[in-house]
Structure 1
Amino acid sequence: MSVSLTDEQNERGGDVTTTGWTAETAAGEYADVNGIELYYERRGTGSPIVLLHGGLGSGEMFGPILPALIERHEVILVDLQGHGRTADVDRPLDVRTMADDVAALIDHLGLDRPDAVGYSLGGGVAWQLGFRHPEKIGRMVTASANIRRSAIYPDMLAQQGQVSAAAAEFMKDTPMYELYQRVAPRPEDFPRLLDKIGAAMAVDFDFTEEVRSIKVPTLVVAADCDMAPPSHYVEVFGLLGGGERDGGWMGEGRPGGGHRLAILPGLTHYNVFSSPLFAAVTLDFLS
């Protein structure tokens, strides 16, 4: 999970863009799964993708790239616990529990091994789907999702430490706040969401061994100026067997599990999710 309260994010919209859909055009449903009323929307036709948003966002944040995705796939956009149109429940925010929610949604919808694509918080949830429910998904894309808390730049960790209900007043002019007020079932819960996200980001984590043993073909994506250095994502690719030898003329030296790495140029943590480059590498991998 990656959320911080920087001046740059407040000016540029942080993890969220509200360009695209509005509350009037959204046409989703709720699934009663795993103890939560999970909101989702289905768009397009073709092999299914479960698309998972970043912290303080919702499925709407993928509006700029959605047209490219639905040209070739059915996209299931999920609003994760306490985000967007999914009301919070009485449990901590935890990527493992949220992955269980998504796995239960896959069963609820009768999907046959859809691909999972997640960014930031959603990328962490995608990783957990691969760890905990590998039999339920086909391929996986994790964008800007760190596997160790210590990989995040120290100044960003310090800023994440400021995320709490006390910051709600300072966020009232941000797209994250506007989105929540517009679509959340209980708009007054925004400070509660900040408290829960702050608590979640304070917990140390290291999923090195889980990544090393993953069986789901995975594309690791990051911006070249992300919340962790590019070397972290290269390390993750190495845990998947990448970068150990020359790839070979016929690709015979590539990782055996079908894994790939994409470091996208000219992007940051705060705009990679809406970039045509992200859509392009995702579609290429899923094809």
Structure 2
Amino acid sequence: MKAQVNGVTLDYEITGSGRLIAFGHSLGMSGKIFEPIRPALEKHGRVLTWDARGHGNSEKTAAGWTVEDLAADLRALIEHLGEDRAVVAGLSMGGNTAVAYAVAYPDKLDGLILADTTAWYGEDAPEAWEKRAHNAETKGMDPVIAFNMSRWFSDSFPDEHPDRVAMVVETLLATDISCYAAAGRALGQFDAREGLSRIDCPTLILVGSEDPATPPAMAEYLHQNIANSELHVLPGLRHMTPVEAPDRVGELMGDFLEKL
């Protein structure tokens, strides 16, 4: 389905019934990466997944937008659906979006789920993300795939689940390079540390113990600075925990949602 919100056309899917649970995807991906985990979430509410601007089947927007713009897109989409409140969840870039949403709209949340994400990528983030964006623009997506596969998945996972890895690779290759670069630059500028104290809703934080992209120290920082939060470190997993371990992640999310 399509929605024209906040000046951009977003593609989204919504299934199930009950409380709204909005789940945002990671950089270069789309809402379809949550298909392995959707059935577990549907037991607890109406599940909304959407393609962020510049991703999937959503509008390819010009550079210059921010993570805060992604949060505003989500707010407008939730209102478009006739809802006021939601549980907001996100993986990586989707988690950055969820953090920005929680800081901007703390009274519009029933709960917050943050998977393999951060409030800030560090001192060198602007330079590092600029380099990654430039590499994508000049060399294409193949080096992006080569760089990320070992960061996103444990060593044995590609052989054990080639279908899921193929889906991730296919989605990444379909991402518009200029939009990928724009999103990367937005992540490089993202810093929501000062706003974390505004978040007071129940919050679940998940991270793979071997995640090199947003390591456990970043998750621990979120946990220490979000008052009503719980942290689970998942042994042996890397950056794409909902894709690599949907049953385990779905169980943890389900237990959390059951308590809300």
User: Are 2:24 and 2:91, in contact at CA under 8 Å, matched by a contact in 1?
Assistant: yes
Aligned residue runs from structure 1 range 1-287, under 5 A: 29-150=1-122, 160=132, 163-168=135-140, 170=142, 175=167, 178-179=170-171, 190-203=176-189, 205-226=190-211, 227-241=213-227, 257=228, 259-275=229-245, 276-287=247-258
Code of the residue aligned with 2:252 in structure 1: it is V
Query: What does the per-residue CA deviation read over 1:108-151, in whole Å, with 9 as the maximum and x for residues that have no partner?
Result: 11114111110000000000110011222210101111112128
Counterpart contact for 1:171–1:177, Cα < 8 Å = no
Amino acid at match of 1:221: L
Shift of 1:270: 3.1
Paired residues of 1:62 and 1:274 also in contact (CA < 8 A) = no
Bigger Cα displacement from structure 2, 194-203 vs 167-176? 167-176
Return 5+ residue gaps in structure 1 as ranges.
Answer: 1-28, 182-186, 242-256
The farther-off stretch of 157-166 and 56-65 is: 157-166
Query: RMSD of the alignment, in Å?
Result: 2.7
The aligned counterpart of 1:19 is: none
Offset, 1:167? 2.9
CA contact (8 A) 2:67 2:187 kept: no
Q: Distance in 2 between matches of 1:202 and 1:169?
A: 19
Cα distance change, pair 61–159 in 1 and its aligned pair in 2 (3 A) = farther
Assess, with a 3 A threshold, how the Cα gap between structure 1 residues 93 and 282 changes in structure 2: closer, same or farther: farther
The size of the alignment, in residue pairs, is: 234
Gaps of 5+ in 2: 146-165
Q: Distance in 1 between matches of 2:23 and 2:188?
A: 25
1:274 shift after superposition: 4.5
Structure-1 separation of matches of 2:202 and 2:123: 23
Query: Is the CA contact (8 Å cut-off) linking 1:103 and 1:136 kept in structure 2?
Result: no
**Which SS does the other structure have where 1:268 is aligned?**
coil
Could you tell me how far apart the structure 2 residues matched to 1:266 and 1:53 are? 21
On the 8 A contact 2:209/2:233 being kept in 1, the answer is yes
Bigger Rg, structure 1 or 2: 1
Amino acid at match of 2:254: L
Report the structure, 1 or 2, having the larger helix content: 2
The answer (yes or no) to whether the contact 1:50–1:117 under 8 Å persists in 2 is yes
Separation of aligned partners in 2, 1:274 and 1:152: 28
Rounded Cα–Cα distance in structure 2 between residues aligned with 1:202 and 1:93 = 12
